[in-house]
Amino acid sequence: MLPFIDEILRYDSLSIVGLEKNTGKTECLKYVLDRLPVQQKRIAVTSIGIDGETVDQVTRTQKPEIVLREGMYFGTSEAHYRQRRLVSELIDVSDESTSLGRVVTAKAVTGGKILLSGPSSASGLKRWMGEMHRKDIDLVIIDGALSRLSSASPAVSQSMILATGAAYSANIPTLVSKTAHVVDLVNLELTSEDKIKMLLPLEKGVWFIDKQGNLNSLDSVTSLSKDIHFEGMENCETLYVAGALVDAFLEKVRKNKNLKQVELVVRDFTKFFVTPQQFRLFLKAGGRMRVLQKSKLIAVTVNPTSPSGYVLDSDTLCGKLSEAIGLPVYDLLKNKD
């Protein structure tokens, strides 16, 4: 059994997120569910998309089915709850609605197969998780949906596993570079506690803290605004972007002489929509990047096979990616024990 299973148990929530479809996210979820100590821990699982299908609806490739063990709790839509292939005890039918009906919470009385399609938004997911913890669930596992890293936001889950692979890029250097960029964002340091308290309630706009510690608003400005000016910010120490951070904004900050060594703060890594090039240029120019919330990255897994059948060398991929990110990297199909 791989060592990250024990580390998962240190946290009350885990997101498993794929950087692209067919990067092994479902295989990772299966691996984790098969090895967690259900006799000692109360475990609940749900998905922000749909998981457990035998055939991918986009690529038409075979997918591993989700098998729950006796005693596990789960959240899924009404439609998929009716299709379950296990005996379960109904816990709750919530007001949380999805395209497939309300979210049903139940406990597996016997082991068996299930389609998971839980809350479809990060806010709905947080509410469901809160209910689970109030029912004394020790660990909530979230299966993230395609390109929806919001399910891995630190506002939702304490820890995460990142799944990458040949479907993300069939070129090993490119795959390593793109994945390492995401890992760099996940691992960004927190800003100071006093700034977290000051900035966390601010969910919109662009703000700055001056050298005297005063909070100021750039009225009617977001990082997506086309006409952004930074006049009167010679005294700026920290710049906070409450929403998405994009390349154009980051470049304007980098090129402004008054913001050469500014601390740029973003809510969490899911709010970054910047290229590796702009990210590196900002840091190289003396800028500092921080976040208000962060998750613990427990593991990175790889699927060396793409849906088209292209296969990368697993050992080479794991070795080069591990060297680039400074973490162990696992091909779970080669490490099934």
Question: What domains are there in the chain, each with its CATH number?
Answer: 4-187+295-330 (3.40.50), 193-291 (no CATH)
- CA angle at 238 for the pair 235 and 239, rounded to the nearest 5°: 105
Look at residue 228 in the predicted model and tell me its pLDDT. 78
Q: For 6-17, write each residue's pLDDT tens digit.
A: 999 999 999 999
Question: Which of 53-57, 278-282, 289-293 comes out lowest in average pLDDT?
Answer: 53-57
Could you tell me the pLDDT band of residue 227, with boundaries at 50, 70 and 90? confident
Query: 3-state SS of the chain?
Result: CCCHHHHHCCCCEEEEEECCCCCCHHHHHHHHHHHCCCCCCCEEEEECCCECCCECCCCCCECCCEEECCCCEEEEEHHHHHCCECCEEEEEEEEEEECCEEEEEEEECCCEEECECCCCCHHHHHHHHHHHHHCCCCEEEEECCCCCHHHHCCCCCCEEEEEEECCCCCCHHHHHHHHHHHHHHHCCCECCHHHHHHHCCCCCCEEEEECCCCEEEECCCCCCCCCCCCCCCCCEEEEEECCCEEHHHHHHHHHCHHHCCCEEEECCHHHEECCHHHHHHHHHCCCEEEECCCCEEEEEEEECECCCCCECCHHHHHHHHHHHHCCCEECCCCCCC
Question: Which of 156-160, 196-200, 276-280, 300-304 comes out lowest in average pLDDT?
Answer: 156-160
Look at residue 58 in the predicted model and tell me its pLDDT. 47
Is the confidence at residue 319, as pLDDT, over 60? yes
Could you tell me the pLDDT band of residue 127, with boundaries at 50, 70 and 90? very high
Question: Which of 97-106, 111-120, 227-236, 275-284 comes out lowest in average pLDDT?
Answer: 227-236
Question: Which of 50-59, 128-137, 207-216, 273-282 comes out lowest in average pLDDT?
Answer: 50-59
Distance CA 316, CA 319 (A): 5
Q: For 35-91, write each residue's pLDDT tens digit.
A: 999 999 999 999 986 654 444 544 454 556 899 999 999 999 999 999 999 999 999
